[in-house]
Structure formats: C-alpha cells, structure tokens
A and B are shown apart, each in its own frame.
Chain A
Amino acid sequence: MIEGITVYDVLAVSTIIFFIGIFGFVTRKNLISLLISTELMLNAVALNFVIFNKFLYPGQIQGYVFSLFLIAVAAAEVALAIAIIISLYRMDNSVDADDMDTLKG
C-alpha cells in the first residue's frame, strides 16, 4: 500500500479518463479520432486492473497478467483498425464516419 493514496483516488482518475474517452467517441466524426478515444478508454480499464491488483490483492498476479493481455489486444486492434482506415481512405478518399456506408443495403 502506498502511503496517502487510496483505491478511491485512483478509481476516480480512471473513471474520469474513461468518460473523457466516451465524450470523444460520441462527439468526433473522424475515424482516427474515434480510435484515439478508444485507446483512452482502454488505458483507463488497464489502470483499473492494475489498481485492484495492487491495493486489494497484493502478491497475486491476475490483474497484472490481464493488463499485459489488454495491452497486447489493444496493439492488435490498433494495427487492424489502421489497416481498415487506410483501405477505406483509398476507396472513398475520406475518413469521415458519416461517409462509411459501403455495407449498407
């Protein structure tokens, strides 16, 4: 346990960052901005895993390992998302979410 810092402080920080990510996700229309907001949310969730592991279950490694897996999945997700964005840009010459209606019937 770190002196002076409680689990509530860190959870408040991660909650605020998560809601800022949601705000970016619902206001922006650029696909890359949506990706950036998703990364903010994923970072907040990883902080939650770490903080529960550190403050509530010290000496165990579940939160630690899940944070590592989360980082790996986030890296995979970003690589795939950027490939899709570049491919869509080649097709439509735009990265605006409103223009993405290729799969619409």
Chain B
Amino acid sequence: MGTKIIFYIVAGLMILFSILSVSTTRVIRAAVYLLFVMMLMGGIYFLFGYNFLAGVQLTVYSGGIAVLIVIAVLLVHNIDHRMEKIPLIEYLWKGSVLLGGSILTIFTINQFPFKRIAGTEDVSVSKIGTQLLSLGEGGFILPFEVISILLLAVMVAAIIIAKGEVTKNEEK
C-alpha cells in the first residue's frame, strides 16, 4: 500500500513538472523542471528495484544532460530572457488534439491483455555486466561496441562543430 501511494505521488509530480517544463516562458526554468522530471524518473526506477539503472539515470541525465542544457541556455540567452507566449487558440487546438490522442492511446493499451512470463524477480548487476560483454548467446557485445564508437564519434564531432570559427578562418 505504501509503495502504491509513493508511486502515485511521484507519477503526479512527474506529470506536473513535465507540463510546467513545456508551458513556462522562461527557458532556464524549463531546463530546471526537466531536471526535476529526470530525478523523479530515477525515483521510479529505485521503486521498481532497478538500482543500477536509477544510478545511471541520476548521474548521466540529471548530472550530465540537464547541466549541459542549463549551460547552453546561459550561453545563448540572457538569464531574464522570456520566450514569446503561445497564442491561446494554438494552445487549445494542439492541446485538445494531443489530449485526445493520449486518451485514445491509454484506452487502447487498457484493452490489451498483457501476459506475464514467470521468472525470478531480481536482476543482479553482475549478470548485466557479464551479458553486456558476452560473446555467447544473448550477449550484447556488438551493440556495446557500437555505442562506444558512437560516443567517441559524437565527442569528436561536437568539438569540431562547436569550434567552427577556427576552420572558417583557415579557409580564407
């Protein structure tokens, strides 16, 4: 019973902060509300017993991505910058279309009978580590390597794109 109450509180806060994040006119506040959503998502992972994933969520999302977005906002905007308000008519028709879409999606999901496969409850971190680097059946070595190459390529590309000024000067 206690777990259920905590889940509903966390889910309610998460939806509230998501709405605030897309509806506020200040970009810096939107970034901070996004940080709250990410931390609450980590809380849900903790609630389900996925402690390693919750730790990764908190370090990479709330510790890395949110801070990166805040720094980008500070680099391109004044801290008091306000975005233009969304016109009410646009708010209403886009909001009602998407509200209808989400209600339809939830209704359809509720029609589907999900079947549970029996199995042991907990997943240990050592099992994940072994499977991630396993060459055998059910191993994830190939996606793991692809992701590491992707991260390296993205880091190099980010540096080159963000330093675009230098290459432009050299061409002259």
Within 23-67 of A, Cβ neighbours of B (below 8 Å) are at: 23-24, 26-30, 32-33, 35-37, 39-40, 43, 46-47, 50-51, 54-61, 64-65, 67
Asked if A76 is at the interface (CB within 8 A of a chain B CB), the reply is: yes
CB pair A5 B161 closer than 8 Å = no
CB pair B76 A95 closer than 8 Å = yes
Contact pick for B47, options A2, A46, A55, CB 8 Å: A2
How many Å lie between the Cα of A47 and that of B109 in the bound state? 15
How many Å lie between the Cα of A90 and that of B167 in the bound state? 14
Question: Told that A12-B109, A71-B60 touch, could you supply 16 new A-B pairs with CB distance under 8 A?
Answer: A1-B121, A2-B4, A4-B3, A13-B11, A17-B14, A19-B105, A22-B98, A33-B83, A59-B119, A60-B117, A60-B119, A65-B143, A68-B53, A71-B57, A72-B60, A86-B72
Residues of A within 8 A of B (CB): 1-5, 7-13, 15-24, 26-30, 32-33, 35-37, 39-40, 43, 46-47, 50-51, 54-61, 64-65, 67-69, 71-80, 82-87, 89-90, 95
Contact pick for A83, options B18, B31, B157, CB 8 Å: B157
CB pair A23 B22 closer than 8 Å = yes
Within 73-94 of B, Cβ neighbours of A (below 8 Å) are at: 73, 75-77, 83-84, 86, 90-91, 94
Contact pick for B22, options A1, A37, A72, CB 8 Å: A37
How many Å lie between the Cα of A86 and that of B75 in the bound state? 8
Asked if A13 meets B14 with Cβ closer than 8 Å, knowing A47-B41, A71-B60, A75-B64, the reply is yes
Chain B: number of interface residues, binned into ranges: 35 or more
User: Which label, helix, strand, loop or mixed, suits the secondary structure of the A interface?
Assistant: helix
How many Å lie between the Cα of A30 and that of B31 in the bound state? 13
Q: Which residues of B sit under 8 angstroms from A9, Cβ to Cβ?
A: 7, 11
CB pair B22 A24 closer than 8 Å = yes
CB pair A47 B22 closer than 8 Å = no
Chain B residue nearest in CB terms to A93: B76
Asked if A67 meets B27 with Cβ closer than 8 Å, knowing A40-B37, A43-B37, A79-B155, the reply is no
